[in-house]
Amino acid sequence: MGYLTLAGDAHAELEVKRSRFLATVRRVPDEAAALELVAEHRRLYHAAGHHCSAFVIGPNQALVRVSDDGELAGTAGLPMLNVLTGQGLSDVAAVVTRYFGGTLLGAGGLVRAYSGAVSAALENAVTVRRRQLELFRVSVEPGQAGQLEWAVRNRGIAVRQVGYGRVAVVLTVAVASEGVGALRSLIATITGGSASLQPDGQDWVDEPGNS
């Protein structure tokens, strides 16, 4: 369950008949961040003729946008998007900037170049899986906090936040529903039954150890 996204930026450059294709793929939380990546390419490569883009956002790939930015319709943005969705990615934007080399590539050549540039960038990318997990808070004595946090992380459970107070430390953890029972047992063992899990909703979380 869940979906893949990127752990960080990745880049690639292709040359096809003297045209240069400069690709960036980036993890983005929303449409504004995707558009900022396009604007960034325009600033960095202001002399280039085309800055084509595609992005897909949401756990179910609900929001998608493509732009051919002056290339033949359907030869840039959509092929780029197909590469992203074909690899099961979401919350990801891709931008490919083209410096024209003087030779027309035709529709098929453009499709291959733009999709190939995104594919090449993704070969350099590190991915991470996201799942919708259960959130819980647990309040423990300061002397128990370090041992509990280490034990929780050691079992591959994400610790979202640690709040330090004068009399207690509150850990917010994210765990799959099938792991709640084992987590309760772990907390009971470490704290001698003095602490318990308090439900705190759900959230989409990067799974530890899946990059």
| Same domain assignment for residues 49 and 118 | yes
What is the phi-psi region of residue 138: left when phi exceeds 0, alpha when psi lies from -120 to 50, beta otherwise?
beta
Residues near 60 by beta carbon (within 8 Å), at least 6 away in sequence: 90
- The alpha-carbon radius of gyration of the chain (Å, integer) is 22
In total, how many domains does the chain have? 2
| Same domain assignment for residues 46 and 32 | yes
- pLDDT means per 10 residues in the chain (211 residues)? 92 96 97 97 96 96 96 98 96 98 95 98 94 92 90 89 89 91 91 89 77 47
Residues near 27 by beta carbon (within 8 Å), at least 6 away in sequence: 5, 6, 7, 8, 9, 91, 92
State pTM to two decimals: 0.82
Q: How would DSSP label each residue in 135-198?
A: EEEEEE-HHHHHHHHHHHHHTT-EEEEEEE-SS-EEEEEEE-GGGHHHHHHHHHHHHTT----E
Domain boundaries, position 153: 129-206
Choose one of 77, 94, 125: the last residue of a domain.
125
Whether 211 is covered by a domain: the verdict is no
Choose one of 79, 99, 125: the last residue of a domain.
125
